[in-house]
Amino acid sequence: MQLYIQQMSQVERPVLAIDHTAWLRPHAPTLKERTYEHQPTALPHGIPVGIGQGYSTIAWIPSTIGSWALPLRHERITSWENPMAKGAEQLAQVCEYLQNRPIALFDSEYGCAPLIKATAAIAADK
């Protein structure tokens, strides 16, 4: 992450993307901390929810040309966390090291008041 942060410091407004991804593990009953995860693609029986683990990724999108995304942090969302709190925490961790305020892009799942509340709470603690 530190190498990317050094390069991001040269950019006027770095673009960061945050996303929650479900890694379904329905046939792994002994896997610890499995949670119910939304899956936008069709699953058996037409139910858009599966069992597995959720992960939150914050990535730097280095340019407007191409499709590169350089992951800064990729962490599992535990059963006592939620995607909004994890995304806000990751954003705060990265912003600590940035000289310029980034533009943050979120999936539609994050378009709600709990993300703003979580981000504000983390900013108030620092």
Per-residue pLDDT of the chain (126 residues; tens, 9 = 90+): 777 777 777 778 888 999 988 888 888 888 888 888 887 766 667 778 888 899 999 999 887 677 788 899 999 999 889 888 898 889 888 888 888 888 888 877 777 777 777 777 666 665
Q: Give the separation between CA 87 and CA 3, rounded to whole angstroms.
A: 21
For residue 81, the enclosing domain spans: 2-20+57-125
Domain assignment present for 49:
no
Domain assignment present for 37:
no
Tally the C-alpha atoms within 13 A of residue 56's C-alpha that lie toward its C-beta. Answer: 20
Domain assignment present for 103:
yes
- H/E segment holding residue 59: strand 49-61
Domain assignment present for 73:
yes
Domain assignment present for 106:
yes
Phi-psi region of 66 (alpha: psi -120 to 50; beta: other; left: phi over 0): left
Domain assignment present for 12:
yes
Domain assignment present for 35:
no
Domain assignment present for 31:
no
pTM score, two decimals? 0.78
- The domain tally of the chain equals 1
